[in-house]
Amino acid sequence: MESPAIQARQTPLFTRRALVRLIVPLVIEQFLLMSVGMMDTVMVTTAGQAAVSGVSLVDNINQLIIQIFSALSTGGAVVVSQYLGRREEDNARTAARQLLYTVFAMAMLLMALALGFRQHVLSLLFGNIEADVMDSALVYFLTTALAYPFISLYNAGAALFRSMGNSKVSMFNSLIVNLVNVVVNAVLIYGFHMGAMGAGIGTLVSRIVAAVFILVLLRHPDNVLRIDGVFHAHLRFDMIRRILTIGIPNGLENGLFQAGKLLVLSLITTFGTNAVAANAIANSIAGVVNVPGTAIGLAMITVVGQCMGARDTKQAVTYTRKLLLTVYVSMGSLSVLLFFLAQPLCTLFALTPEATAMAAEVLRWCAVFDLLIWPLAFTLPNALRASGDVMFTMAVSLGSMFLFRIGSSYVLACDWGLGLGLLGVWIGMIIDWGVRSVIFTIRFAQGKWKNRSVI
C-alpha cells in the first residue's frame, strides 16, 4: 500500500522533455547497433550466399551471448535505478562498479568456451549445413568470440548511462561503432576479399573501440555514477547478489529464449540454403521495425525502476501506459511501411529469386502482428522486470517459447505436419507473441508486480 505522501505526490519523476531526451537517442542507438550486424550481412553478400548464411548462423549464437550480457546489465540497471529513485547515490555507484565486474567475468568465461568448443557447437546445432557454409561460420565465430568481453563492458556502461537518464552517450558510441565497423569491413571484405573473416574482424575492432570509449566516459566527474579506479577491484557480494537476483532470471529467460530460436533455426537449415538466407535477411529487416519497441523498453527499465525506488507505483503505471502508447504509434507506422515495401526491400540483397520471395512473404505476416501484439509481448514486460517481477516474466517467456513457438514451428513447418516450411516457422513465432501478450497484459492489470522492489 502506498503511503499518503506518495499518493499525494504531484511532481512527476520524469517530465515530457526528460522522456524525449531519454528515448530519442535510444531509438537512434538501437538503429545504429542493429546496423552493425546488418552491415556485416550486406557487405559479406559479395562473397557469396554461403558466406551470408555462415555469418547469419553465427550471429544467432552471438545474439544468445549478447542477450546474456544484456540481461545482467538490465539487472544492474534495475538496482541502480531503484537506488537513484531513493536518492542513495553512494549505493548506486557501488552497484554500478559491481555490475562491471560481474559482466566482465561472465564474458571471459563465455569467450573461453566459445573459442574452445566453437566447432562442436556449430556441428551440434547446424551439423547438416553445407561445407562452405560451415567454413564461413567457423572463421566468423572465431573472430567475433574475441569481442565478447568488450561487448559486455559496453552493454553494462550503456545501461548505467541509461540509469542516469543519459542515453546520448551510448547513441554517439553506437555511431562510432558503425563507422569503425563499416570502414574495417570495406577494407577487409572489398579490398582484401576476406569474406566472413573480414566481417568478424570489423565487428571485433568496433567493439573494442566502443568498450574503451564508454569506460573513459564513465570516469567523468559530472556523472552521478562516476567510476574511478575500476581496475582496483573491490567486490561487494551483497550488491552482486541484488544484481544477480534480477540478472540471473532475466539471463535465463533471454538465454534460453535465444537457445529456443537456435533450435528453430536448426529446423530451418533442413529447408536448404535459400531458406537460411531468406530467414537471415527477413530477420534483419524485421528487426528495424522492432527498434522503437526495444528502445522504449530500455527506457522503461530506467523510468519504472526509479518510480519503484521512490515507492511511487501510481507514476509507474502512468509512465508504462504512456510509453506503451508511444511504441504502438511508432511501430505501427513502420509496420504499415514494411507490409507494402517488403518485396522491394528484399530485392536489395543479393539473394536468389526463391529466397527473395520467401523473405518477402514472411515479412508481410510479421508486419501485421508487429502492429497488433508485439509491444504487449516484449515492451510491456520490461515494466514488470523494472519492478523486480522477473521470475514471472521468465516463467511465461520460457513456457511460451518452448510450448508454443518451437512446438508450433515443427507442426506447421515440417513435411509430417502442414509442410509450410519457413512460413510455418514464422507463424509459430507469431503464436508465441500472442500468448505472451495476453499473459503479460493480465499480470500488469492485476498489479501484483507493484510489491516486488529488490532494494
Give CA–CA dist 307/323, Å, rounded. 14
Cβ contact 160:218 at 8 Å: yes
- Torsion sign, CA atoms 49, 50, 55, 59: positive
Cβ contact 115:172 at 8 Å: no
pLDDT at residue 415 in the model: 77
Question: Taking the mean position of all CA atoms in its chain, how far away is CA 331?
Answer: 16
pLDDT over 70 (residue 336): yes
pLDDT at residue 229 in the model: 66
Rounded to 10 degrees, the C-alpha dihedral 133/134/140/142 comes to: -170
Give CA–CA dist 7/12, Å, rounded. 12
Q: What is the pLDDT of residues 134-192, one digit of tens each?
A: 888 999 999 999 999 999 999 999 999 988 888 888 888 888 888 898 899 889 988 88
pLDDT over 50 (residue 3): no
* Of the candidates 260, 269, 299, 265, the residue with the CA atom closest to the CA atom of residue 382: 299
Cβ contact 43:267 at 8 Å: no
pLDDT over 90 (residue 9): no
pLDDT at residue 454 in the model: 60
pLDDT over 90 (residue 367): yes
pLDDT band for position 114 (cuts 50, 70, 90): very high
Give CA–CA dist 455/447, Å, rounded. 19
Phi, psi of 171 (to 5 degrees): -65, -50
Phi, psi of 405 (to 5 degrees): -65, -50
Mention every residue, 6+ apart, whose C-beta is less than 8 A from residue 171.
25, 26, 28, 29, 32
pLDDT over 60 (residue 419): yes
As a whole number, the mean pLDDT across the chain is 86
pLDDT at residue 141 in the model: 94
Which range has highest mean pLDDT (66-75, 236-245, 322-331)? Answer: 322-331
Show the cell assigned to 49: 550466399
pLDDT band for position 453 (cuts 50, 70, 90): low
Between residues 309 and 37, which one has the greater pLDDT?
A: 309
pLDDT at residue 272 in the model: 83
Give CA–CA dist 177/184, Å, rounded. 11
pLDDT band for position 5 (cuts 50, 70, 90): very low
Between residues 328 and 247, which one has the greater pLDDT?
A: 328
Rounded to 10 degrees, the C-alpha dihedral 108/83/307/313 comes to: 100
pLDDT at residue 288 in the model: 87
pLDDT at residue 7 in the model: 45
Mention every residue, 6+ apart, whose C-beta is less than 8 A from residue 369.
430, 433, 434
First-to-last alpha carbon distance for the chain, in angstroms, is: 17
Show the cell assigned to 189: 571484405
pLDDT over 90 (residue 266): no
pLDDT at residue 8 in the model: 42
Show the cell assigned to 309: 525506488
Q: Is 402 exposed, middle or buried (0-12, 13-18, 19+ CB in 10 A)?
A: middle
Give CA–CA dist 172/154, Å, rounded. 12
Which amino acid does the sequence have at 173?
A: N
Question: Per DSSP, which regions of 85-195 are E strands?
Answer: none
Mean pLDDT of the region 34-52: 73
Question: Per DSSP, which regions of 186-299 are E strands?
Answer: none
Give CA–CA dist 300/19, Å, rounded. 10
pLDDT over 80 (residue 102): yes
pLDDT over 60 (residue 4): no
pLDDT band for position 230 (cuts 50, 70, 90): low
Q: Helix or strand or coil: residue 373?
A: coil
